[in-house]
């Protein structure tokens, strides 16, 4: 039960930097001791910005850092499964960003290795479970306030993307269902107490960003899932939101319904002009889920310190990938 959990982070890109700063300065009981990236400029940033961490070009070198307790993976998704396996085998606790892998068979490999290391804490980064609104919805479902939940509708939208980020990101992200919808898939399974899917249908469009077609991705998609217990869920995901970033959910039961997350403004400020009214939307997921990223990191460190399993198992992550792949395949097969 280490007083301070010594963490090494791998991946210092768009999200890795944020996790690195959180682990270095904002998470009680965490000590960020090492950071790895194959990109020199990122290592230089880490050496200057992260309180004297030791930098490495990759995971293998980082794993040899003396006294390392845990590895924090924020690397391209296509690398996750192998890096999780190497880190578990090296005896480390592992946090891995979502999704665990791009194919169920790769998740199975990681789950099988994890089974042989039951004392190590393993967690996948479905940080929305730590967001106060989703967590409160789950609490109210558990308390019976909605009765029997039978329908969930989710929306997750990234802002329009004139810089072409998602076109560059798509070849390693797995596409919109594995990269974006996977959050809602995990949340729906959580809200429905791990309900098992019976069938999946999906449609998609790339009329706004046709270049996504090079790797079979789309910019807007929707999927319907029927569960074996008779519940249903509808998922809408896009990279084409004109009002900014948004993640919302409507949960319906036989006693009541809950709506969460829609229309959260950037600031509590409404501008009136030209006979109309406007509020600024949220810029990105950092703005919407900044606190959730902190709370998930704190939960991981606490689980290591207390020797307890984390709330998000590799099995949950495997099932999320399985469902996202079914959506991807349903879209492809029409």
In the complex, the smallest distance separating the C-beta of residue 16 from ligand NAI, rounded to whole angstroms, is: 5
In the complex, the smallest distance separating the C-beta of residue 183 from ligand NAI, rounded to whole angstroms, is: 6
Verify binding: residue 285, ligand NAI, rule CB under 6 A. yes
In the complex, the smallest distance separating the C-beta of residue 164 from ligand NAI, rounded to whole angstroms, is: 14
From the list 36-44, 113-121, 129-137, 255-263, the region that binds ligand NAI by CB under 6 A is 36-44
Please work out the total of residues on this chain that contact ligand NAI, with binding judged by CB under 6 A: 25
- Could you give the CA distance from residue 50 to residue 8 in angstroms, rounded to a whole number? 12
CA-based nearest residue to 95, from 123, 118, 74? 123
Verify binding: residue 38, ligand NAI, rule CB under 6 A. yes
In the complex, the smallest distance separating the C-beta of residue 75 from ligand NAI, rounded to whole angstroms, is: 4
Phi-psi region of 174 (alpha: psi -120 to 50; beta: other; left: phi over 0): left
Verify binding: residue 2, ligand NAI, rule CB under 6 A. no
Distances (CA, A) of 128 to 6, 100, 297: 25, 16, 12
What stretches of the chain adopt beta strand conformation (E)? 5-10, 30-36, 54-56, 70-73, 93-96, 122-124, 149-159, 197-205, 220-227, 232-241, 246-253, 257-260, 271-273, 276-278
From the list 34-42, 147-155, 212-220, 255-263, the region that binds ligand NAI by CB under 6 A is 34-42
Q: Please select the residue that binds ligand NAI; options are 29, 52, 58, 213, rule is CB under 6 A.
A: 58
Q: Please select the residue that binds ligand NAI; options are 69, 158, 179, 186, rule is CB under 6 A.
A: 179
Do residues 303 and 124 make contact, with C-beta atoms less than 8 angstroms apart? no
Verify binding: residue 225, ligand NAI, rule CB under 6 A. no
Q: 161 is written with which tokens? A: 């993307």
Verify binding: residue 12, ligand NAI, rule CB under 6 A. yes
CA-based nearest residue to 181, from 331, 39, 14, 56? 331
Bridge partner list, 233: 152, 225
Q: Please select the residue that binds ligand NAI; options are 2, 13, 104, 265, rule is CB under 6 A.
A: 13
CA-based nearest residue to 166, from 113, 233, 124, 220? 220
CB atoms within 10 A of CB 93: 25
Q: By beta-carbon distance, which residue lies closest to ligand NAI?
A: 13
Verify binding: residue 37, ligand NAI, rule CB under 6 A. yes
Residues that bind ligand NAI (CB under 6 A): 10-16, 37-39, 42, 58-59, 74-77, 79, 97-98, 125, 127, 173, 179, 285
């Amino acid at each position: 039960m280490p007083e301070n959990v010594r963490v090494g982070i791998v991946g210092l890109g768009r999200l890795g930097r944020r996790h690195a700063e959180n682990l270095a300065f904002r998470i009680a009981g965490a000590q960020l001791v090492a950071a790895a990236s194959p990109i020199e400029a990122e290592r230089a940033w880490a050496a200057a910005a992260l309180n004297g961490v030791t930098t490495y070009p990759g995971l293998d070198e980082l794993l040899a850092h003396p006294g390392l307790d845990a590895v924090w993976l924020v690397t391209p998704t296509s690398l996750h499964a192998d890096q999780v396996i190497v880190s578990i085998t090296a005896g480390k606790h592992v946090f891995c960003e979502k999704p665990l892998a791009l194919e169920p068979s790769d998740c199975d490999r990681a789950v099988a290795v994890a089974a042989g290391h039951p004392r190590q804490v393993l967690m996948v980064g479905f940080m929305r479970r730590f967001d106060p609104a989703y967590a409160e919805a789950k609490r109210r479902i558990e308390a019976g306030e909605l009765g029997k939940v039978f329908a969930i509708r989710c929306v997750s939208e990234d802002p329009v993307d004139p810089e072409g980020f998602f076109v560059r990101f798509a070849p390693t992200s797995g596409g919109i269902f594995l990269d974006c919808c996977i959050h809602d898939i995990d949340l729906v399974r959580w809200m429905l107490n791990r309900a098992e899917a019976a069938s999946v249908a999906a449609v998609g469009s790339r009329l706004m960003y046709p270049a996504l077609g090079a790797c079979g991705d789309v910019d807007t998609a929707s999927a319907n899932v029927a569960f074996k217990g008779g519940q249903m869920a509808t998922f809408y995901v896009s990279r084409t939101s004109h009002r900014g970033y948004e993640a919302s959910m409507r949960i319906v039961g036989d006693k009541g319904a809950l709506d969460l997350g829609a229309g959260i403004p950037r600031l509590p400020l409404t501008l009136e002009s030209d006979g109309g009214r406007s509020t600024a939307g949220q810029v990105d997921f950092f703005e919407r889920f900044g606190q959730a990223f902190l709370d998930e990191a704190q939960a991981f460190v606490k689980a290591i310190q207390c020797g307890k399993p984390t709330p998000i198992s590799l099995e949950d992550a495997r099932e999320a990938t399985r469902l996202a792949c079914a959506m991807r395949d349903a879209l492809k097969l029409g």
